[in-house]
């Protein structure tokens, strides 16, 4: 802007020098609209030079270059769509703050001077290029001299094709979720479904699939002697199909109701219910009882598939459906992108089909696993019980991990301790080794003792108020608690959040907004590893640090998440005083200190 002004000045100087003497000053004044009697009253077009250009497919940048000594009333700006299938998203429109002017007649009025730039957000449907007319209204005066009638200008503009993804400006990089949904939108229906299948396959290569393997193994091993490659594959298929169907349901709901499913799956009630399911499954693994499908269902299923014994298939299917939600938090960012995309299309059928395909892709390795498990696992054997117990312990572990989201940290730590000590005792840590005991018994006892000691450490840690299972005694260190936390200001409702953001914008300061919850494991990791880093603290010194606490998962929390179209923590958003949220620099998921510093450098530069 300043450079452009500099060029203008040069241009004028050049003109003046070239045209030299004879009254060119007069002429210039005339050229620029001055009238002799009234001093220099500029044409409104020159007093308020208006420019507009599109800023991506859903925004128009409107700017005024206001001549010195002139001003525009801040409350007289108006923006509307005169023609074209779109509307101005007034809720997201942010006018730059002006300066207060004491007017003898009106009292204090807020006016804008100099350069004013407004990013006008446009709400529109996804689709190809869109021609619109933006009608801009404004009114202003020359200080102490004249006022101009309210001006209305119709600006014809062509918005670029839009993928259905929100984006502040066309040339900025997309955030993770946005990039996924942008790529998906560009394909057609079949393309979308195939893309989701591919995404599923990619997801299956992440550790997200690990929690599912013990579950599936548990189902398969419960078949015991009857297990064949065929039945193993069949069980896996039932499991994977049900998993996919569960995702399909997510997709259909996202496509029709625009519900916030990830958040729903993180409400305490749902989490506790799943933990209970896992404990029950674990107990059945330990042989406390046999899970039996009701006889009526069993017979119905055997009618349906005569050759295959029922019951287990049904169980596999139920577990598959539940597993979709279990894996949910791990695949949160891509799933969020997918669901965001689906809810934007508003197409329930596409949503169902696409997410079903994603489930199939995600489950494909599990099919292979089922097939191989059937051929690799022994038909029978007493030590199969041992494997079942291991799976039982893993399931209990999953239950504790889930409960960790709703329980206080020390309580979770105590549960871990309980689990480890029980394992240790079971492994014979407290039993005397037989005199001529074999190698395996010694290994078991050694492992058991290690678990016992660690379990004891966890209990001590829990008693001291620790909450990190990997560093249970951190709280006991001398000078503990000296690890400095970032001075976040905690906020628990949307209106307070808006107030803080407004205040920061007025103070012309950048804001970093962290969505946090006590049960959010990734948030805790950030708090522990990333935020205490001195370089990070230093980089954030000038930044207003806000933390939206959504631990309660109550309507106020959900409202804050919904306001930013988030599916849950962790999420870190950046706001600049002029441009509002820097959507492209939105951060979803964990970053270590190095990566976070890089991200900060990018986000704070703009």
Partner 1 sequence: MKPLALATGAIVIVAMSAGVAYRLSSRVESPPAAEPAMSVVGTQRPEFSLADVDGAPRSVSEWDGKVLALNFWATWCPPCRKEIPEFVELQHRYGERGLQFVGIALQRPDDVRAFIQEHNMNYPVLAGEMEVIRLAERYGNRVGALPYTVIIDRKGRIAYVKPGPLSGTAAEEVIAPLL
Q: Which residues lie near partner 1 (CB under 8 A)?
A: 7, 10-20, 22, 24, 27, 30, 33, 35-39, 41-44, 103-106, 139, 141-142, 144-149
- Rounded to a whole number of angstroms, the minimum distance from the CB of residue 112 to partner 1 is 16
Q: What is the closest distance, in whole angstroms, from the C-beta atom of residue 153 to partner 1 in the complex? A: 14
Which position has the token pair 């002004």? 5
Q: Nearest to residue 516, comparing CAs of 605, 587, 596, 593?
A: 587
Q: Which is nearer to partner 1, 140 or 455 (CB)?
A: 140
DSSP string over 285-346: HTTSS-----HHHHHHHHHHSSSS-SSHHHHHHHHHHHHHHHSTTTTHHHHHHHHHHHHHHT
Nearest approach in angstroms of CB 110 to partner 1 is: 14
Spell 272-309 as b/e; 16+ CB within 10 A means b: bebbebbbebbebbbeeeeeebeeeebeebeeeeeebe
Q: Which two tokens stand for residue 457?
A: 């450490």
CA atoms of 66 and 99, how far apart (whole Å): 14
Q: Cβ distance 121 to 89 under 8 Å?
A: yes
Provide, rounded to whole angstroms, the least separation between the CB of residue 29 and partner 1.
10
At closest approach, how far in Å is the CB of 6 from partner 1?
8
Complex with partner 1: residue 27 or 498, whichever CB lies closer: 27
Q: Which of these, 452, 399, 463, lies nearest to 425 by C-alpha position?
A: 452
Our CB check for partner 1 shows the closer of 22 and 290 to be 22
Q: Which residues contact 580 (CB under 8 A, 6 or more apart)?
A: 92, 94, 119, 168
Structure tokens at 472: 């249970």
Minimum CB separation from partner 1 for residue 32, in Å?
A: 11
Nearest to partner 1 of 143, 598 (CB atom): 143
Q: What angle do CA 475, 479, 485 make, to 5 degrees?
A: 75
Strand order in the sheet with 70-73: 99-103, 107-112, 70-73, 140-142
- Where are any strands of DSSP class E within 362-421? none
In Å, how far are 219, 235, 256, 378 from 229, measured between CA atoms? 14, 10, 40, 11
Measured from the CB of residue 78, what is the shortest distance to partner 1 in angstroms?
Answer: 14
Closer of 14 and 156 to partner 1 (Cβ): 14
Strands 86-88 and 151-159, how do they pair?
unpaired
**Tokens of residue 79, six digits:** 């923006």
How far is residue 449's CA from residue 45's CA, in Å, rounded to a whole number? Answer: 84
Closest CB 106 distance from partner 1, rounded Å: 6
Contact partners, residue 307, CB within 8 Å, separation at least 6: none
Please, which residue, 153 or 389, has the CB nearer to partner 1? 153
The rounded distance, in Å, linking the Cα atoms of 225 and 273 is 32
> Considering the complex, what minimum distance in angstroms separates the CB of residue 23 from partner 1?
10
Q: For residues 144 and 171, which CB has a smaller minimum distance to partner 1 in the complex?
A: 144
Output 43 or 502, the one with its CB closest to partner 1.
43
220 closest CA partner among 84, 111, 367: 367
Least distance from C-beta 58 to partner 1, angstroms?
A: 33
Question: Judged by CB, which is closer to partner 1: 43, or 595?
Answer: 43
CA atoms within 13 A on the CB side of 324: 28
Nearest distance from residue 91's CB to partner 1, in Å? Answer: 27
Q: How far is the CB of 576 from partner 1 (least distance, A)?
A: 27
């Amino acid at each position: 802007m300043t450079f452009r002004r500099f060029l203008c000045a040069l241009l004028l100087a050049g003109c003046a020098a070239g045209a030299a003497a004879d009254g060119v000053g007069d002429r210039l004044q005339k050229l620029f609209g001055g009238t002799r009697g009234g001093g220099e009253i500029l044409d409104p077009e020159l007093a308020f030079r208006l420019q507009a250009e599109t800023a991506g497919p859903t925004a128009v940048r409107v700017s005024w270059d206001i001549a010195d000594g002139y001003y525009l009333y801040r409350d007289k700006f108006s923006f509307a769509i005169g023609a074209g299938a779109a509307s101005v998203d007034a809720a997201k429109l942010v006018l730059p703050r002006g300066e207060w002017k004491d007017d003898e007649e009106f009292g204090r009025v807020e006016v804008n001077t100099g350069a004013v730039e407004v990013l006008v957000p446009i709400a529109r449907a996804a689709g190809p290029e869109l021609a619109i007319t933006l009608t801009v209204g404004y009114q202003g005066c020359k200080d102490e001299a004249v006022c101009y009638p309210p001006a209305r200008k119709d600006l014809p503009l062509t918005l670029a094709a839009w993928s259905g993804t929100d984006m502040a400006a066309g040339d900025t990089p997309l955030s993770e979720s946005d990039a996924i949904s942008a790529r998906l939108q560009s394909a057609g229906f079949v393309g979308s479904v195939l893309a989701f299948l591919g995404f599923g396959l990619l997801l299956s290569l992440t550790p997200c699939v690990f929690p599912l393997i013990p579950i599936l193994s548990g189902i398969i091993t419960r078949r015991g002697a009857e297990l064949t490659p065929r039945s193993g594959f069949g069980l896996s298929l039932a499991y994977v199909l049900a998993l996919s169907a569960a995702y399909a349901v997510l997709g259909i709901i996202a496509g029709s109701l625009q519900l916030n499913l990830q958040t729903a799956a993180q409400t305490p009630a749902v989490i506790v219910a799943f933990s209970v399911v896992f404990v029950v499954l674990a107990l059945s693994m330990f042989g406390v009882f046999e899970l039996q499908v009701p006889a009526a269902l069993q017979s119905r299923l055997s009618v349906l598939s005569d050759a295959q014994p029922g019951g287990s298939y049904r169980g596999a299917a139920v577990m598959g459906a539940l597993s979709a939600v279990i894996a949910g938090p791990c695949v949160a960012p891509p799933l969020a992108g997918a669901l965001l995309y689906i809810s934007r299309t508003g197409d329930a059928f596409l949503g169902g089909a696409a997410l079903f395909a994603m489930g199939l892709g995600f489950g494909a390795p599990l099919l292979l696993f089922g097939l191989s498990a059937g051929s690799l696992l022994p038909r029978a054997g007493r030590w199969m019980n041992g494997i079942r117990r291991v799976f039982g312990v893993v399931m209990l572990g999953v239950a504790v991990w889930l409960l960790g989201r709703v329980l206080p940290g020390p309580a979770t730590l105590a549960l871990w301790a309980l689990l480890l000590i029980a394992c240790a005792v079971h492994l014979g840590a407290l039993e005397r080794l037989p005199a001529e005991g074999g190698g395996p018994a010694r290994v078991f006892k050694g492992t058991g003792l290690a678990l016992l000691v660690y379990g004891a450490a966890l209990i001590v840690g829990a008693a001291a108020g620790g909450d990190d299972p990997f560093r249970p005694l951190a709280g006991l260190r001398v000078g503990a608690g000296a690890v400095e936390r970032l001075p976040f200001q905690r906020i628990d409702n949307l209106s307070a959040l808006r107030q803080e953001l407004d205040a920061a914008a007025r103070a012309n300061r950048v804001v970093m907004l962290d969505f946090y919850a006590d049960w959010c494991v990734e948030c805790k990791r950030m708090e522990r590893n990333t935020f205490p880093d001195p370089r990070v603290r230093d980089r954030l010194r000038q930044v207003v640090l806000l933390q939206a606490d959504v631990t309660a998962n109550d309507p106020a929390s959900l409202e804050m998440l919904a306001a930013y179209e988030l599916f849950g923590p962790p999420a870190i958003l950046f706001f600049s005083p002029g441009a509002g949220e820097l959507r492209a620099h939105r951060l979803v998921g964990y970053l270590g200190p190095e990566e976070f510093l890089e991200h900060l450098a990018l986000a704070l530069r703009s």
